[in-house]
Amino acid sequence: MSKGSPGPTPGFLVWRLANKWRVAVDRALAPLGLTHAQYALAASLHGMQRVGERPSQRRLADHTGLEALYVSKLARALESAGLIERTRDPRDPRAVQLALTEQGQAVVQRAIVVVQGLLQQLLEPLGGLDAPRTRAFTDELMTLLDVPIAPSVPNDESTQGTTP
């Protein structure tokens, strides 16, 4: 919270909401052997495959907003679990392409149903998943997510001791 602010800042609330939803999704997906991050990666891969794409790890990182190294770590864990396969891109030997296995498809499809039910529950205070308030909330989130992050400013005296 900031000085002089009578209540929590928007950033604090977004952080709290993100953590609350991550924990809820982690708990809901635990019986399927997935974490929220693994689900985000696998469900995104599922959607991309449905439109005929076989994305590279880099492309999937760009799509999800996750760091490329984190995507690599998640992909290796999902590969070890038999849910995805990682292969070299024939057009670029440095790139690794990802695809869901049959088992991965089945798990992701079950996970999507679980997460959709959870989202309906979490969004009930706004009227549910298809409610006008939820669509407006989603639009506001998209507006914030579309703003590019400025490059880091090196530490200097003007940024010492300040919090974003």
The per-residue pLDDT for range 3-46, each reduced to its tens digit, is 666 899 999 999 999 999 999 999 999 999 999 999 999 999 99
Local structure of 128: helix, strand or coil? coil
Q: pTM of the prediction?
A: 0.82
Q: Rounded to an integer, what distance in angstroms lies between the CA atom of residue 61 and that of residue 66?
A: 5
Residue 157 to residue 57: CA distance in whole angstroms? 39
Alpha-carbon torsion (79, 15, 133, 61), positive or negative = negative
87 phi and psi angles, rounded to 5 deg: -135, 155
pLDDT at 89: 84
pLDDT tier at 152, thresholds 50, 70, 90: confident
